[in-house]
Amino acid sequence: MLRALLTDIDGTLTDPTRRINLGAIEAIRSLVDQGIEVVLASGNVTCVMDGICRMIGTNGTLIAENGGVFRIGYTGTPHIFGDQAVCRRALAVVQAHYRTKGVELQLYSPTYRSSDLAFARTVPTDEVRTILADHPVQVIDTGYAIHLQVPGINKGTALVALAADMHLVPSDFLAIGDSTNDLQMLETAGIGVTVANAHPNIKAVAQYVAEKEYGDGFVEAIKKYEPYFRARKRSTTI
């Protein structure tokens, strides 16, 4: 039986323009109303995800910054992994490289990030990887931004730590995602599912690939697996 849902946001709950699918919101609310834990996972920062969680109607448990941060509920203490100082040094190298070409990187929410750093996909990801080949960082292209994170941190490692704090195990989770930064999450969860627009590497590890794309594919997946969910008594810490 499944006890919780862990889902990516961009490209999974949304359409190509990043509008959240209304059917996906209804599907999530249905699970929440049944007492199923729903966890949102994203490369975005915690404060942005707080707003998304509130509007959708989850209990506020989340994984942010591609696994660099997780938190139980809205009032829980954020758990931060990684070493942002390493990322800052790497970012400075990338910025210096592109400034010599007259290019200024557009940073995404640097003030609010605790673990990784992110900037717009206005430069080639592979070129960034070449520039940082001698630096102890991983370069993650989510399809929406380029992130710099120390190695060994991803949504899958965050799921392991999160599950323990929720008094669950990773196999209790259904995970749904679409991009390469969701790969470890799908591999770690009890069941990994993806949508039709997903990256081929994600489809290769998913146990089910929805016939539909984006948010419609998410709704399709929830309808398929909803009978396998079982609610549990909610912890007072969540």
* Domain spans in the chain, listed from the N-terminal domain onward: 4-80+153-228, 84-149
Answer yes or no: is pLDDT of 66 > 80.
yes
CATH assignment of 84-149?
Answer: 3.90.1070.10
Is residue 50 part of the annotated active site? The answer reads no
Answer yes or no: is pLDDT of 51 > 60.
yes
226: DSSP letter: G
| Active-site option among 8, 10, 116, 172 | 8
What is the value of pTM for the model shown? 0.94
Beta-carbon contacts of residue 155 (< 8 Å; ≥ 6 apart): 6, 8, 41, 63, 66, 67, 177, 181, 182, 184, 185
Mean pLDDT on 142-148:
96
Answer yes or no: is pLDDT of 153 > 60.
yes
Mean pLDDT on 94-99:
98
Averaged pLDDT of the chain = 96
Q: Identity (one letter) of the amino acid at 132?
A: L
pLDDT for position 83: 96
Q: Each residue of 170-199: pLDDT tens digit?
A: 999 999 999 999 999 999 999 999 999 999
pLDDT for position 72: 98
pLDDT for position 104: 98
Beta-strand pair 117-119/146-149: antiparallel
Answer yes or no: is pLDDT of 234 > 60.
no
pLDDT for position 238: 44
How sure is the predictor about 233, in pLDDT bands with cuts at 50, 70 and 90?
low
pLDDT for position 139: 98
How sure is the predictor about 237, in pLDDT bands with cuts at 50, 70 and 90?
very low
d(CA 117, CA 124): 16
Answer yes or no: is pLDDT of 20 > 70.
yes
Class (C level, CATH) for 4-80+153-228: alpha beta
- For residue 11, report the phi and psi dihedrals to the nearest 5 degrees: 85, -10
How sure is the predictor about 159, in pLDDT bands with cuts at 50, 70 and 90?
very high
Decide: residue 24, CB within 10 A, 0-12 exposed, 13-18 middle, 19+ buried.
buried
How sure is the predictor about 230, in pLDDT bands with cuts at 50, 70 and 90?
very high
Mean pLDDT on 197-224:
98
The answer to whether the 4-80+153-228 and 84-149 domains have the same CATH topology is no
